[in-house]
Amino acid sequence: MTSSIRNVIFDMGGVLMTFDSKRFATIFTDTEEDAELLDRALFDRNEWALLDAGVISHETMRRIAEATLPERLLPNLHECIAHWPEHSEPIAPTNSFAAQLKERGFGLYLLSNASTRIDEQLGHCPAYPLMDGRVVSAEERLMKPDPAIYQLLCERYGLDPATCIFVDDNLNNCHGAEVAGMQSFHFITDDTEASVAQLERILDL
């Protein structure tokens, strides 16, 4: 363990759990064209960020998506909305790494831009039961990379930002953590094993 870092703060999507909207849309449609339509109507739009921010409801998100799809795809949309979190999968190297960190005495925390349905994903995240606390954007109506959300996590759990490293696949979110006084690590989702190995070196494991 390094002399300063005592707490590791994880993002969820792209770090602990997959978030592949194109795959989700493909699961609930029969053709590539329909999958693209569904993805654009639901996930790949600005309103999805408002859902994560807690500004709009899931009901509003559904209605927005319905308005942009042909009627024949509405059943597909409804199935996707109901069940996509079940297809968010654990990223094995990071979850195993979190267990290793817990054994070494690190504090573990979750800081995620996610909707109020986050527990439907975390329910099958192996690392989640190991967490000492969490902050979720929709629950707080604050979002990364606003430094206030990192500060909130530290205040809530009595953490000194200087003892924390924040792990996220979004570089802007890493910058927000640095403004809040933390160290950060830009996690590369396409090369999870290399990212975990680099984190191990940083933490002197």
Tell me the average pLDDT across 68-93.
97
DSSP 8-class letter at 195: H
| Whole-number pLDDT of residue 1 | 45
Cα distances from 68 to residues 64, 187, 195, 197, in angstroms, run 7, 34, 38, 43
Quick: pLDDT tens for 140-169. 999 999 999 999 999 999 999 999 999 999
Helix, strand, coil shares, percent, the chain, to 5: 55, 15, 35
